[in-house]
Structure 1
Amino acid sequence: MKTPEERAAEALAARSGHDEPRGVEWQRAGGAPFRPAASGSTPSASATPSAATASSSARTADADPSLVPIPQLIRDAVLLLARVVLGVVLVAHGMQKVLQGVSATAQGFGGMGVPLPEAAAVITMAVEIGGGVLLILGLLTPIAGVLAGLVLAGAVVFAHFSNGLFAADGGWELAAGLGVGALVLAVVGPGRISLDRLLLRRLRGPETLAAP
C-alpha cells in the first residue's frame, strides 16, 4: 500500500506532464511556434456593424440639428411657401416703383438721403422684380437672396430705421423681416421643389436627388 507521500509525488508528476501549454505541445509536434493572443486585442468583426451604425447616427445628428425630425417633403413645402410669399411681396413693391416711374422713385430716394438716387432706383426695381421672380421659381436662389437682402438693408437704413420698429409708423420691421428671410433662403437653399434642383440634377446626375 502506497504511503501518502508516494501518492503526492505521483500526483505532482502527473500534473507536470499534462499542464504544459498547448503551444508547447504543438511546437514539440513540429508545428509553427505558438503565440497566444494578447489581452486587449482588436475588436472582433461582430463589433464592426455596431460601430458603423453609431458613426452613421452621429453624422445624421450633426447634419440635422433640429430637436424634432422633420420629413423632407415638409421641409421642401415650407421652403416653397417662403419663397413664393417673399417673392410676391418683392415683385409687388418693385412694380409699385415702376408704376411711379424712375424719376419719381429717384426723387423720393434723394429725399431720404440715398446716394446716386437715379441709379439706386433702377437697381432697386430690377432687384425687387427680378429677384422676386427668381425666388418664386427657385432659380439662382443664393444670388437672388443676397441681392434682395442688400436692397432691403438699404431700405432699413435710409427709409425706415428713423421711424422706429412698427411698419404702421413707417418703421423697419417689414423691410428687416423680408431681408433676413431672403438671406436665410440664400444660405439654406430653395428646397427640392425648385428650378435650382432641376438644374443641379441635369448637371451632376440623378444621384444628387439623394442629397438633403
Structure 2
Amino acid sequence: MSWTMWLAFLAAAMVIAVSPGPGAVLSMSTGLRYGYGAALRSIAGLEIALLLQLGVVALGLGALLATSETAFAAVKFAGAAYLVWLGVNKWRAPPEPIGEGDDAIRPHSRRQLYAQGILVNLTNPKAIVFIAALVPQFIVPDRPQLPQFAIIGATMVAVDTMVMSCYALLATRFRPLLRNPRLLRVQNRVFGGLFVGAGAMLAVSSR
C-alpha cells in the first residue's frame, strides 16, 4: 500500500469514525456515568468488534451479508434488539449518585463494559457491509494481502479509538453536574432514548 493510498484510506476512516452512531452513544454514556477510564473499556470492546468485522471481510464473509437478505436481516434485527434492550435498561436505571472513576464500577460491570462495546459494533451489519465495500478498494491484489489488512486494521482502530475517546472525554466534562439525582434521571432518559432511537433506525435501515 502506497503512502498516497494510505492517506486516502486514513481520510475515509476519519469520516466514518466521526459520523455519530451507537458506538459514539456508548462512549459518551459510559464516559458521563463512570469517567474516561471506564469508557476506555467500552471503546476497547468496540475496537475488538471492529477487528472481527475486518476479519469477516478478509475471509470473504462480508459479501454474504451484502448479498443475502436473510443474513443481513438476521444480524440487523439482533443488533436493533440489543440496542433497544440497552436503551430500556438505561431509561429504567435508578438515579444512583456517581462515584469516582473505576472505584464506582463493580468487577462484573467492568466485564460488561467490554461486552457491551463488542456487541454494539458486532451486531451492526451495516458496518460490515460498509467495510466490505470500502476496504477492497485499498487492497492491491498482486501484493501480499495480510500486511495490507494489518495496516488497514491498525489505521481503523487508531482512528476510531481517538474519535471515541474524544466523545467520551467531552461527556466527562459534564460529570460534576450529575451529583443531582434529578439530573441523573434526565441523563438516563436521554441516553436510553438515544439507544432506543439507534436501534429503531437500524431496524428500519436497508443496505
TM-score, shorter chain, exceeding 0.5: no
Q: Which structure is richer in relative contact order (CA contacts within 8 A, separation 6 or more)?
A: 2
TM-score tier after normalising by the smaller chain length? under 0.3
